[in-house]
Amino acid sequence: MASPVAEFREDLTHLLVVLDGLGDRPHPATEGKSPVESASTPNLDHLTAMGDAGELTVLGPGTAPESDAGVFALLGYDPVKDSPGRGVLEALGCGIDLLPGDVALRLNFATVDGDGSVVDARVGRSLTTAEAVELARALTEGRLLEAEGIDAEVRSTVGHRGVLWLRPRGGGALSPSVSNADPFYEKVGGMGRALRPEHPRIETVRPLEPSPSATRTARAINLFLERSVPLLASHRLNARRALAGRKLANGLLLRNAGALVTGSPQPFSAKYGIAGGALTEMPVERGIARVLGLEDHYVGPMTGDRDIGYGERARAVRGLVGRLPFLYVHLKGPDEPAHDGDALRKKEVVEAIDRSFFGPLVEGLDLSKVRLCVTADHATPCIVGGHSDDPVPWILVGQGVTVPPRTAPIKFGAPPAGASASGPRHAADVLPILLGRVRATSAT
């Protein structure tokens, strides 16, 4: 099957817009359709009618990726082999200067009960960044691994999210080859694979290789978790939260340990022969941009009115069109309500993105100078409340894109029907096809 786009052109902006957790399933709250299909999306529907559209698999059956793994795959990298790990990406994204021998892990403040069972992996999304900063400072100042010759710093990022940064003062380098304490994710190489445990509880960290450094690192992380329990339980912030009837931030979920690896992954410019940029909201996306050598344009997490926020992002993208031959844009919006199982709010977020991001983005945009792909890094079905291996929607539109014959209009996010789309079937196909570098894979 021929590629749905013409060959690469240097004078174009090749634009990849990734909507975090967009993929979904039918839900009773949205009349038996998915929240995406049920949303009013006139701008995305218009783009769909002007180009090619369908669904793609991010990593494959049985693998529910984290966002960083999905993005690596969409950018044409192998998330297992090429990614330095979620911990490293988060650390780089929040300004931590890692050295060889350091290890970084993604951290969630969580609510746990007395036996380590996880009550809420995100403290009910009620922990403010300012509160998390206060807890992170206490954990760092506690010097919980001083006796082991390891400096341990907790760096708060956004809300309940953070990073645990381990730096050895002696005894040799630490190793990222350790399992997760977070029961909701399994470590597979540099990638995190989402799990749905029936009775989630904080796991004991194990070395994943028979080396002294991995054994030392696993022991250190377990000690850090053990010693953090009384510190968090007695912290005045949790006392205030208890008095206010709010969930306690009394546990830590740690996952995806990583370390810097010299020369890996290959920079984006070396892989594709062109410069690229990224418009990012969260630390992990900033970390991806930094690792791949993409020019980072950081707008920060969404705050306040979502229509204002998406409008600001659309204007920022429009300002970059024509400046760079490739631009990756990541919008967090759809993922959070899906994790909370809130189909109606996810529908509202998708409608806001269509109205306030895609509306101003495409108004007056000369599509003869742009190739645009809209897709997702993974599915987060509201009926599941977590990541899944479901396929995700994609649109391909703009200069040189072939529009397939259709017998009826296509709604954005609706399951494919009628004529087969000719675009990407897997995330790894997206960049080569968008850039016009290879032929598309056949539908099977």
32 within a domain of the structure (yes/no): yes
Give the pLDDT band of residue 172 (cuts 50, 70, 90): confident
pLDDT for 444: 29
The total of structural domains in the chain comes to: 2
Largest CA distance in the chain: 70
444 within a domain of the structure (yes/no): no
pLDDT for 6: 63
- Where does a domain end: 258, 287, 319? 258
CA 392 vs CA 132, 219, 260, 338, 381: distances in Å? 33, 39, 31, 14, 11
- Where does a domain end: 258, 282, 312? 258
pLDDT for 408: 75
443 within a domain of the structure (yes/no): no
Which two three-digit tokens encode residue 344? 């109606």
Digit-coded pLDDT (tens) for 299-346: 999 888 999 999 999 999 999 999 999 999 999 999 999 999 999 999
What sign for the dihedral angle of Cα 65, 68, 71, 73? negative
pLDDT at 117 over 90: yes
pLDDT for 442: 32
Its domain, for residue 297, covers 13-83+265-434
Verify that 208 and 344 share a domain, yes or no: no
Q: Which of 40-49, 192-201, 256-265 has the lowest mean pLDDT?
A: 256-265
Verify that 163 and 214 share a domain, yes or no: yes
6 within a domain of the structure (yes/no): no
Report pTM: 0.91
pLDDT for 438: 54
pLDDT for 330: 97
439 within a domain of the structure (yes/no): no
Instruction: Give the helix ranges, DSSP H, for 113-156.
Output: 129-141
User: What does pLDDT average to over the chain?
Assistant: 92
pLDDT at 406 over 90: no
Verify that 141 and 272 share a domain, yes or no: no
pLDDT for 272: 93
Verify that 96 and 227 share a domain, yes or no: yes
Percent of the chain with pLDDT over 70: 96
Give the pLDDT band of residue 192 (cuts 50, 70, 90): confident
Verify that 303 and 213 share a domain, yes or no: no
360-367 mean pLDDT: 92
Verify that 32 and 159 share a domain, yes or no: no
DSSP class of 158: S
pLDDT for 116: 87
3 within a domain of the structure (yes/no): no
Verify that 243 and 285 share a domain, yes or no: no
92-108 mean pLDDT: 95
Verify that 362 and 282 share a domain, yes or no: yes
- Where does a domain end: 235, 258, 281? 258
pLDDT at 443 over 50: no
> Rounded distance, CA 59 to CA 408, Å?
30
Verify that 380 and 401 share a domain, yes or no: yes
16-35 mean pLDDT: 96
pLDDT for 269: 95
362-368 mean pLDDT: 91
309 within a domain of the structure (yes/no): yes
Which two three-digit tokens encode residue 37? 């299909």
Verify that 167 and 34 share a domain, yes or no: no
Q: Which of 294-298, 356-360, 438-442 has the lowest mean pLDDT?
A: 438-442
139-159 mean pLDDT: 97
Verify that 57 and 173 share a domain, yes or no: no
Task: Count CA atoms within 13 Å of residue 330 on its CB side.
Answer: 31
Give the pLDDT band of residue 404 (cuts 50, 70, 90): confident
Task: Tell me the CATH number at 280.
Answer: 3.40.720.10
Digit-coded pLDDT (tens) for 256-268: 999 988 777 999 9
pLDDT for 417: 60
440 within a domain of the structure (yes/no): no
Q: What is the three-state SS of 376-439?
A: CCCECCCCCCCCECCCEEEEEEECCCCCCCCCCCCCCCCCCCCCCCCCCCEHHHHHHHHCCCCC
Give 420 or 283, the one with higher predicted confidence: 283
Verify that 329 and 383 share a domain, yes or no: yes
